[in-house]
Amino acid sequence: MTQEYWRWTESSWTSKDIDWKKAKTITAGVDIGTNSTQAAIMCDNLLFGYANLRTGPDYRESAGAAMRQALGKSAMTLKDIRYTVGTGWGSRNVPFAQKTVDEINCHARGARFMYGPAVKTVVDLGAQTCKAIRLYAWDRIRDFMINDKCAVGMGRGIEVMADLMQVPIQEMGERSLTVGRDPEPVSTTCYAFANTEAIGLFREGYQESEVLAAYLFAIAWRIHGMVGRVQPEKELAFTGGLAKNTGITKRLEREMGMTALTSEYDPQLAGAIGAALIAQKMVEKA
Amino acid sequence: MERFREALQNRHEYARNWKKRTGGKVLGYYEPYVPEEIVYAAGILPVRLLSQHEPDDVTDRQMYGNCACSRDILNQFTKGRYDYIDGLINAEGCQWMLNAFQTTLNNKPDLFNHYIFVPDYVDGRTSKDVMRSELKVFKKALENWTGKPITDSNLDRAIEVYNTNRRLMRQVYELRRADNPVVLGSEAMEMVLASQVMDKEEMNRLLRDAIAKLAERKPRSDTGVRLMLIGSPTSDVALEELVESLGANIVIDELCTGSCYFWNEVIAQSDRLMAISLRYLGRPHCALKDNNWRRRPAHIYQLYEDYQAHGVIIAKQIYCHPHGTDNPLIWKILRERNIPFHYFERDTTLPYEETRLRMEAFINMLKPELVLK
Amino acid sequence: MITAGIDVGIESLKAVILKDGKVLARGTGLSGGANRAKAVEQVWSDALAAAGLSPSDVSRVIATGQGKHDVRFADDRVVEPVADARAARFLYPGVTAVVDIGADQVRLVTLGKGDSIMEVVMNQKCAAGLGIFLKSMARTLGMTLEEISRLPDNSPGDAAVNDGCSVFAEMDALGLLNRNTPREEVARAIIEAIVVRINSILNEKIRPAEAATVLVGGVSRNTAVVNALKRRSGINFVIPEQAEYAGALGAALIAAG
Amino acid sequence: MKKQRWETRPLDVWNKAKEMRAKWQQSIDTAATERVLLAQGNVGWSIGFPALRVIEDNPVGAMMANKSDEFSRICRVAGEVLGWGREICGYQLNCWGAMYLGHQQDGSKFPMRDMVIPFPDPCDQHTKRGQAPMDYSPIPRWQENWPLYTGPQDTDREKAMIEDRVYCTLYIIEEIERIFGQKFDDERFIESVKVSGGIHPYAQDVSRFMQHIPSPLSQKDLYSFYTLGGLTKGDPGETVAIWKALRDEVEWRVQNNIAAVGNERYRWMETHPPPWHFLKYYRYMEKYGAVCIGSQYSHLMAGAFEIKEDGTWGPREVFGKFGKDRPIKTREDAIRAMIGTEARGHRFKDDEVIRPYALNDFAKAYKVNGAILPLWRCGVGCTVTRKEQGLRLSEMGVRVLHYEGSQPGDRTDLDENRLLDQLDVWMESQGLRKLED
């Protein structure tokens, strides 16, 4: 079979230096998205391990797999985890979770953990939905928006595009940024429109980079409109899979006139980490 | 309560049985500005045409870009679900519905049909007169069709029946103002919807003993978050039930198919038609007719206050331009008053998972302590 | 005389080399985004090799398909419906309509007298990319297109999904997964959604009574979809061998004059 | 390319029209500095107020779309962040987006409106139009009724509707006088009604001349004129003069077989506006020797036509008897007269909105082979019944092509290359190949 351009790399990591046996409370969060599933294990609010896998057709199985990989080679088992919170599209399919919490809350908390407490605006660029979250200075959500109906599935759209363009999905962003000035974006309504319209641009003699630019700019612009609805403020943080696509984030930053914070964590983990943090709170509360 | 749900879900059967039982005619109507009293006075059953969720592979032929409601109504007509309808009425409202009206007639030209012009300048000084003359024309049309005159006493009776229904529905809604209402949002909404497809007299009987039963009912220990629902017309209670399953309750709505349908009564006067036209021009404006004086925002805010809601859900049908055009103002007003709201679009189906995500988040946003509950 | 037709689709390329109405060789490959022109040349040389010919042996090459402009060496270009119609008439002289379901487009061509075309109906934008949608859903369900194709055709129960467009359908389908609906059930729901979209295009023009309708294009290889479509539309399609090559075949026939 | 069958040459009056449109645009931008009231909307009687100028957002939005993809895109998002969805009419999104931004494309200040008098119109988005400026900054708004009904014609009904409109208008004029303290000049108004009544005969002739083969004008040419005296108001005398000049030139073109498209061999019609940012598809069709003879929309100033018993294509009298024919002495007479003429405009529009057969007569009269009916996702008035009309046209053997976009003023969903492909398919499937490339 030919190269799978759409396939993004799964990842997992388990800490070697944290002695989890000494930890007071161990909590976990599992974020089952439509496209990717993350698990995060935390010892007293320190990230102990995580996994980021592609979601399979059986959500329960995906949750288990992510958890197994996050536990990694450490001797820790599910039993050692005091409390687990499930979140995301498939939140109710985490068999070993005591509770489910909505994505917005988890991403907000996760973002503040990963990007620092100064975060005021979180933009979650997911596979199925994009969300803009506006936080008060303290840990409370002021307003949030989820994309219009016609804008669902942008993330999956990009996978399709990678196939059609035969460009590895990780390289898309970089390649699109090689253009001098961005061309006008293609249709910003629906990814299906955008994909075909972008491919059609070759007829006008567009180069690959220009087509990618017109396409990714369309998606960035679409999100820009949605984010504007929550009256974004600094500090800004991007989470979710598309946050790794510089072709989108750079353009979004340009249009918003803000630079996003950076973090050593994988932006896709925000939901899972947030869930684990909430789990921690639950334990403290009890 | 179940009886309302039944009538709503089996509305086609209900109408068919009504015809068998009474041998009367059934008129389908599209817009909330249709003067039902006159229809009812003629001994005809007025039925509001509501959409449902049936896969639609027939309307693309005749329609493009329509909202799901108008589209599905045509869909049902084409598939014969509405075979019991003897005629169609449209009172000028949204253009998609006008389109559904016309297109259906192109398929079924022999249906009785009438179009009532409703002034855009609803508050205009001369509008009530043109409205009245339109009602007169409509009355005549009905008389010619049925072959029997509509007497003043007919009208009086119809007005009485309808006002009663409105009063009873107001009673039900009044119950929802309690700290812990005995009636759920979904139940109340089912009553309104049912009363738009049922014979009002029967409906009133049902309502009376429903209200009596409600008096004995114990309220839920905790109503949870109190929500207000505004936006495009709906034909089911999926959303209400969803938020109830998430520990919240919709305590008030401002929908054409909801409170706006029964909110104000016909004030009797010797000129019955004028009384009726004043009632319809004076009803809580639908987004489209809210033209010059902008009554909607004030009305919404008052309801919000009266029912002590915590937040507002704005649920708009895709391609529902009247509500789309109103959004900026509504958002502005709500933001100015620091009323939290969540806006989203719905379509033929209400994608359960996605909507749950939104509602969960919105409810948690309004009541953060729920997250750690 | 030896002629050739090349069909440059949004997703895949097809080439057919023809000699006096006999197919000498076929070639196919992926459309290759920016490198489409190169990909075309690759497929072309493969086909020539398979036929044991050199370019000079082929007297006329005609390109068709959305990317037909990328076939630099083509002697002429024709639009897809014309090619489809020609191929269908060649394979089934009595044909009255051709339906082409590809990765991106659904096209209906109704045929008139002689070699005239009565009407061409293309899918609306909200029905675009059905073939691609099927593929990406298969990916999500962890099934191959073959597995989906082999699904038995019994119409889905409550697992209805939005018919608005493939993207909405996708959202509802993913919701089904969340309720742990077995993936075969989900796949059928998706197929139903696709078929509803296709049928709403056919609905416009074809009366099932006129049975002589030819179905071509990539998706016509998917038995499950075809069965569901037959059931919903009541049309008893004829599906030629190598149906996905119809466009290229038509082009080659036109090249032969 | 091979020699043309007919001679072609540009219109002489074209520059004059351009100049008039520019002058009008100027008058809007300078309204504030000239201490003149600016009204959002379009009503025939505005000229009665010495210091009042009216402007609809259609021409503004259309012009923006035509001038700059980027700026109109930015304007659309400016509206979107305040709550507008993408299904809103692109004209509004463009125009009011610029209002929200506070400036126009050239950086100059956006001319804020002082009041709203919406042009009563069948399109819902028109009906609610003008609420943006009123919601944005508190200004008065008067929505005239737009009487419309389906079914059999009923003179009593029409009478009541006309009366309502007359009194509505009188009332609004009084209100404006009361609120803005500006005196309504009856003489000026009556005069203008008498004069601009004169546009119609000329416009009607121009419309008729386009039945000639080869067509002396194409849609592109019409678009330079069809707003003069309607959406773009100038001095009535000047406006009538240019229509007369146009009429005379077109007559001359017909007599000398001067064609809009040299190789005319295919005639096609449209409905409603084209994508203002992509007018080049007319040129693309000309490569096939196909000429666009316009649409009921671009023949707007001629009013409603119908095929008479004798088979000729003549103006249709609707509502006329309720005012047009009586002597114009008072303000009310003038309003009646104006509504008499305007209502015909309405009538043709309501035909287009609710009568699926609306286009068939037009198609017959102009001997068209095909019709391109755009489907605009975001402009209800631009889309409603378009598919039905397509069905009726194909019944009478006219080949129909539908293409999709957001809205004439909004390029978002218009896939230009897909449109060109569709045009190729449409032409080639009718056995026509490009004459030039």
Q: pLDDT tens across D5-44, in order?
A: 999 999 999 999 999 988 888 888 888 888 899 999 888 8
Enclosing domain of residue D358: 199-318+354-428
Q: Hey, is the C-beta of C120 within 8 angstroms of any chain D C-beta?
A: yes
- Do C65 and C249 meet the contact criterion of CB atoms below 8 Å apart? no
With bands split at pLDDT 50, 70 and 90, how would you rate the model's confidence at D119? Answer: confident
pLDDT of residue A275: 97
pLDDT of residue B28: 96
Contacts of A160 in chain C (CB under 8 A): 129, 132, 136
Distance in angstroms (rounded) separating the CA atoms of residues C81 and C97:
11
Q: Hey, is the C-beta of D407 within 8 angstroms of any chain A C-beta?
A: no
What percentage of chain D reaches a pLDDT higher than 90? 52
Asked if the model's pLDDT at residue B258 lies above 80, the reply is yes
Selected residues 31-50 of chain C with any CB under 8 Å from a CB in chain A: 31-36
Q: Hey, is the C-beta of D403 within 8 angstroms of any chain C C-beta?
A: no
Domain count for chain B: 1
Distance in angstroms (rounded) separating the CA atoms of residues B3 and D137:
49
CA A252, chain centre distance (Å): 15
- Do C25 and C44 meet the contact criterion of CB atoms below 8 Å apart? no
In a domain, D108, yes or no: no
pLDDT of residue C169: 84
Distance in angstroms (rounded) separating the CA atoms of residues B152 and B163:
16
Say whether the ipTM exceeds 0.90: yes
Q: DSSP secondary-structure letter at C217?
A: S
In a domain, B81, yes or no: yes
Distance in angstroms (rounded) separating the CA atoms of residues D147 and B345:
32
Nearest to D429 among C66, C82, C125 (CB): C82
CA distances from D414 to A193, B87, B332, D18, D200 (A): 9, 39, 31, 27, 35
Q: DSSP secondary-structure letter at D228?
A: B
Residue B350 Cα, gap to closest chain C Cα (Å): 9
Q: Which residue of B has its CA nearest to C172?
A: B351
Asked if the model's pLDDT at residue A155 lies above 70, the reply is yes
- For the ranges B255-269, C108-122, D133-147, the maximum mean pLDDT occurs at B255-269
Distance in angstroms (rounded) separating the CA atoms of residues A167 and A174:
11
User: In terms of DSSP H, where are the helices of D197-330?
Assistant: 199-209, 219-222, 236-255, 280-286
- Mean pLDDT, residues B90-111: 88
Tokens of B14: 């209900």
The CB-side HSE value for D383 (13 A sphere, CA atoms) comes to 29
pLDDT of residue A252: 96
- Mean pLDDT, residues B266-276: 96
Give the pLDDT confidence of C14-30 residue by residue, as tens digits. 999 999 999 999 999 99
CA B352, chain centre distance (Å): 23
Q: Hey, is the C-beta of C203 within 8 angstroms of any chain D C-beta?
A: no
Beta-bridge partner residues of A131:
A124, A146
pLDDT of residue D378: 86
Q: Which of A136-150, D122-136, D212-226 has the lowest mean pLDDT?
A: D122-136
All structural domains of chain C, each given as residue ranges with its CATH number in brackets, are: 2-83+245-255 (3.30.420.40), 93-239 (3.30.420.40)
Residue from A91, A199, A207, A208 whose CB has the most chain C CBs within 10 Å, to mutate: A199
Q: At what angle do helices D386-395 and D358-365 cross, to 10 degrees?
A: 50
- Do A110 and A139 meet the contact criterion of CB atoms below 8 Å apart? no
If you average pLDDT over every residue of chain D, what do you get? 87
Place of tokens 């809103």: D88
Closest CA to C18 of C73, C57, C46: C57
pLDDT of residue B220: 80
- Do D111 and D37 meet the contact criterion of CB atoms below 8 Å apart? no
In a domain, D338, yes or no: no
pLDDT of residue C157: 58
With the C-alpha atoms ordered A43, A48, A53, A57, is the resulting torsion angle positive or negative? negative
For residue B13, the domain's CATH number is 3.40.50.11890
Task: Please indicate whether, in this complex, the C-beta atoms of B349 and C232 are within 8 angstroms of each other.
Answer: no
pLDDT of residue C156: 56
Tokens of B184: 């759920």
With bands split at pLDDT 50, 70 and 90, how would you rate the model's confidence at D347? Answer: very low
Amino acid occupying residue B308 = Q
CA distances from C224 to C174, C176, C192, C241 (A): 20, 20, 10, 17
Distance in angstroms (rounded) separating the CA atoms of residues B322 and B98:
14
With bands split at pLDDT 50, 70 and 90, how would you rate the model's confidence at C56? Answer: very high
Chain B residues interacting with chain A (CB cutoff of 8 angstroms): 318, 340, 342-347, 353-354, 357-358, 360-362, 364-365, 368, 371-372
pLDDT of residue C160: 66
Backbone dihedral angles phi then psi of residue A157, each to the nearest 5 degrees: -55, -40
> Strands (DSSP E) along chain B, which ranges?
26-29, 45-48, 87-91, 112-116, 225-231, 248-254, 311-317, 341-346
User: In terms of DSSP H, where are the helices of chain A?
Assistant: 59-71, 103-115, 154-165, 172-176, 191-200, 208-228, 246-256, 270-285
Enclosing domain of residue B88: 2-148
Tokens of B353: 């998972």
Task: Provide the 3-class DSSP secondary structure of residue A141.
Answer: strand
Domain count for chain D: 1
Nearest to A187 among D81, D412, D420 (CB): D412
Q: Strand C2-8 to strand C12-19: parallel, antiparallel, or no bridges (unpaired)?
A: antiparallel
Give the pLDDT confidence of B119-165 residue by residue, as tens digits. 888 888 888 999 999 999 999 999 999 999 999 999 999 999 999 99
Nearest to C124 among B53, B60, B351 (CB): B60
Residue A123 Cα, gap to closest chain B Cα (Å): 15
CA distances from A220 to A283, D81, D98 (A): 39, 15, 21
- The 10 Å Cβ neighbour count of residue B1 is 16
- The 10 Å Cβ neighbour count of residue B75 is 23
- Do A230 and A134 meet the contact criterion of CB atoms below 8 Å apart? yes
Asked if the model's pLDDT at residue D209 lies above 90, the reply is yes
Asked if the model's pLDDT at residue D343 lies above 70, the reply is no
Contacts of D86 in chain C (CB under 8 A): none
In a domain, D282, yes or no: yes
Asked if the model's pLDDT at residue A1 lies above 50, the reply is no
Q: Which residue of A has its CA nearest to B327?
A: A229
- Do B229 and B185 meet the contact criterion of CB atoms below 8 Å apart? yes
In a domain, D206, yes or no: yes
Nearest to A187 among D77, D85, D413 (CB): D413
- Mean pLDDT, residues A124-153: 91
Residue from A100, A167, A190, A191 whose CB has the most chain C CBs within 10 Å, to mutate: A190
Higher local confidence (pLDDT), D315 or D265: D265
Higher local confidence (pLDDT), D437 or A199: A199
Place of tokens 């467009």: C165
Residue B72 Cα, gap to closest chain A Cα (Å): 18
Nearest to C171 among A56, A92, A152 (CB): A152
Beta-bridge partner residues of B45:
B26
Whether the bond between D374 and the residue before it is cis, its omega within 30 degrees of 0, is: no
All structural domains of chain A, each given as residue ranges with its CATH number in brackets, are: 11-109+268-285 (3.30.420.40), 117-262 (3.30.420.40)
Q: Strand D305-307 to strand D313-315: parallel, antiparallel, or no bridges (unpaired)?
A: antiparallel
Tokens of A285: 């509360």
Residue C124 Cα, gap to closest chain D Cα (Å): 8
Task: Please indicate whether, in this complex, the C-beta atoms of D81 and A184 are within 8 angstroms of each other.
Answer: no
Task: Please indicate whether, in this complex, the C-beta atoms of B318 and A141 are within 8 angstroms of each other.
Answer: no
pLDDT of residue D345: 40
Q: Which residues contact D214 (CB under 8 A, 6 or more apart)?
A: D5, D6, D257, D259, D260, D261, D264, D291
Task: Please indicate whether, in this complex, the C-beta atoms of D86 and A197 are within 8 angstroms of each other.
Answer: no
Selected residues 199-258 of chain A with any CB under 8 Å from a CB in chain C: 199-200, 202-203, 207-208, 211
Distance in angstroms (rounded) separating the CA atoms of residues D319 and D312:
21
- Mean pLDDT, residues D353-367: 81
Distance in angstroms (rounded) separating the CA atoms of residues D126 and D143:
10
Nearest to B371 among A101, A148, A152 (CB): A101
Q: DSSP secondary-structure letter at D134?
A: H
In a domain, D32, yes or no: no
pLDDT of residue D348: 40
pLDDT of residue B162: 97
Task: Provide the 3-class DSSP secondary structure of residue C226.
Answer: helix
Chains that touch A (3 or more CB pairs under 8 A): B, C, D
Asked if the model's pLDDT at residue A206 lies above 50, the reply is yes
Asked if the model's pLDDT at residue D322 lies above 60, the reply is no
Backbone dihedral angles phi then psi of residue D309, each to the nearest 5 degrees: -55, -45
In a domain, B31, yes or no: yes
Distance in angstroms (rounded) separating the CA atoms of residues C92 and C80:
18
Contacts of B365 in chain A (CB under 8 A): 104, 141, 143-144
- Do B342 and B358 meet the contact criterion of CB atoms below 8 Å apart? yes
Residue A20 Cα, gap to closest chain C Cα (Å): 33
Residue from B51, B53, B58, B60 whose CB has the most chain C CBs within 10 Å, to mutate: B60
- Mean pLDDT, residues A276-285: 95
Beta-bridge partner residues of B312:
B228, B341
- Do B300 and B166 meet the contact criterion of CB atoms below 8 Å apart? no
Q: Which helix (H) or strand (E) holds C44?
A: helix C36-51
- Do C64 and C83 meet the contact criterion of CB atoms below 8 Å apart? yes
